[in-house]
Structure 1
């Protein structure tokens, strides 16, 4: 009988920013984005974004560890919006979850669900009234199982 490995979900430290960025990069590759379509300075772009989000948008990241090795991560922050937000925060303070990633050999063990749950908890603690995320086709059932619903976001590829 296989021994079940203990999954530990914890808040990431600044020293793990590189790993968060690496997972974010791998996520795009897993989604079929060609490597040559990703900016060559992806690491600096991501690290600078995380630093700014940490200062301005209540950014936090969480990692999943098994036997001391990080096997997954996610990031969350206040949603900065696409247009002026004229609605009072007590009615509309959105959080955003991004970069949910689990190493391929550790998928289908509930790790993405645990990471997302921890991000939702953080966003709730800072007063968010709604959580947004963009789901991949494979991630959609995970998020639906947590109560996320499909939105009215529409897109048109040009």
Structure 2
């Protein structure tokens, strides 16, 4: 039985931004630390607003929050990749662009549960495979445990290797 519930963010719902911000800020700061970069809260907040602002432009683009007992514990951004990564991959793969579970909820199965939710949606959207570019600290161990493999292909934008999983 699923323990998590999900909310697809909408630019037309003002309270969605506040809910998203509660996990978007720590998510971005954690990734920044792992990547050795620094962004201000203001830059991170503007990026969150921009990402929520494009929701609804495509039916296969998702920015969701995960809830446990009415508390936001995570987020996920995922879609069907229309452009591919510089021609390195075939069009139509699912892509996970962001994934976060609050640290106090990790290693309890919530990340796996949220991934299975994402996988189901991307399968429904027609993706034959899923790709992502995990950070080397928390991302690689998590995603490889879920069956993702390093493709050996390097994403020049994220400056990370692309990991792929068959559906």
The TM-score normalised by the length of structure 2 is: 0.70
Which of the residues 54, 57, 65 maps onto 2:56? Answer: 54
Which residue, 70, 73, 88 being the options, matches 1:71? 73
- What RMSD over aligned residues (CA atoms) do the two structures have, in Å? 3.1
Distance in structure 2 (CA, Å) of the matches to 1:131 and 1:21: 26
Choose 1 or 2 for highest CA Rg. 1
Total equivalences in the alignment: 148
Deviation at 1:62, TM superposition (A): 3.2
| Cα distance per residue 1:51-107 (max 9 Å; x no partner) | 32530472113333222111112111122334469x6xxxx4111112211112211
The answer on whether the counterparts of 1:7 and 1:64 sit within 8 Å (CA) in structure 2 is no
5+ unaligned residues in a row in structure 1: which ranges? 1-5
Distance 1:84 1:149 in 2: 19
Shift of 1:126: 0.7
Gap regions ≥5 residues in structure 2: 160-167
Aligned to 1:3: none
Residues 120 and 21 (structure 1 numbering): CA distance in 2 closer, same or farther, change over 3 Å? farther
Query: Separation in 2 of the partners of 1:122 and 1:17?
Result: 23
CA contact (8 A) 2:25 2:41 kept: no
Higher fraction of strand: 2
Change (3 A) 1:143 1:124: same
Is residue 2:159 matched to residue 1:144? Answer: no
Aligned to 1:127: 126
- Farther off after superposition, 101-110 or 8-17: 8-17
Instruction: Give the 3 Å change call, closer, same or farther, for CA 41–155 of structure 1 in structure 2.
Output: closer
Pair 1:39–1:10, CA change in 2 (3 A): closer
Q: In 2, Cα distance between the equivalents of 1:7 and 1:46?
A: 26
Is 1:81 equivalent to 2:84 in the alignment? yes
Runs of 4+ residues deviating >6 angstroms: none
TM-score (norm. length: structure 1): 0.73
Looking at structure 1, the residues matched to 147 and 29 of structure 2 have their Cα atoms a distance apart, in angstroms, of 27
